[in-house]
A = this chain, B = another copy of it.
Amino acid sequence: MATEIEAAQRQHELDAKAVDRLVFFSDAVIAIVITLMVLEVRLPALPEHATDAQVVAALIALWPKYFAVVLSFLVIGLYWTLHHRRFNFVRRVDSQLVWLNLIFLLTMACVPFATALVAEHPDLVGTVVYAATLAILSITAALVWWAVGRRPEIRADPAARREMRIAVVMGLLSAAFFSVSIAVAFVSTLLAKGLWLLFFLANRVAGRLSFGRPAK
């Protein structure tokens, strides 16, 4: 029986390690995505002895890029903080969770592409692709939390079920929100972009109200 307890103990350690590694890998991917997206903002090639006025003009012309990158930085930052908080509720990982998380990361790695697109082609197509990317990101996030919530053996404690349900609902609401912004884009791309900012701000307020009580 001692052996059984030892085996259970060892299994528990392996489980905890597997969760930590999944979180570590996700963090590494997100850190690379968020940082390279910012590093991709480059000054357009200028003549070697460009005047100060030319350089200033080139810097100012980049403003749609600044806006798009800062917005994406905030959105990715938001999804990262949520990812962290919610993985506190995960006790072990199974194959399904690993793969849904990989698909979530794949979608996140597409955000810089959509960001560059909307910055360079701010008309309908860029706006729709960006909103669609964030809608898909929200759905893949919802799938991750659904996979955690539906199986008692990979959840950390009873409270986790409720928390995961909230996470799924919030993911689907976010997807709905970005889908609406696609419809709005057909009327006004500017209004659609305003909605995205609103999305971030609303989440920050909601996050602030509930943060700091991760596994009561």
User: Considering the chains assembled together, what is the distance between the CA atoms of A135 and B172 in angstroms?
Assistant: 40
Q: List 13 A-B contacts (CB under 8 A).
A: A18-B88, A21-B27, A28-B28, A28-B31, A36-B36, A36-B39, A38-B110, A46-B121, A52-B123, A59-B117, A70-B106, A73-B102, A99-B204
Contact of A21 among B84, B96, B99, B129 (CB under 8 A): B84
User: Considering the chains assembled together, what is the distance between the CA atoms of A203 and B158 in angstroms?
Assistant: 33
Known: A10-B215, A95-B207. 20 other contacts (CB 8 A): A18-B88, A21-B23, A24-B27, A28-B28, A28-B31, A32-B36, A33-B35, A33-B39, A34-B109, A39-B109, A43-B113, A43-B120, A46-B120, A50-B121, A52-B121, A52-B125, A55-B121, A55-B123, A59-B125, A73-B102
Q: CB-defined interface of A99-134 with B at 8 Å, one 1/0 digit per residue?
A: 100100110011011001100110111100100000
Asked if A11 lies at the interface with its beta carbon under 8 angstroms from chain B, I say yes
Asked if A2 lies at the interface with its beta carbon under 8 angstroms from chain B, I say no
Contact B88–A14 (Cβ < 8 Å): yes
A65 to nearest B CB, angstroms? 11
Asked if A98 lies at the interface with its beta carbon under 8 angstroms from chain B, I say yes
Asked if A208 lies at the interface with its beta carbon under 8 angstroms from chain B, I say yes
User: Considering the chains assembled together, what is the distance between the CA atoms of A10 and B215 in angstroms?
Assistant: 9
Identical chains bound together, number: 4
SS of A interface (majority): helix
Contacts of A39 in B (CB 8 A): 32-33, 36, 109, 112-113
A8 to nearest B CB, angstroms? 12
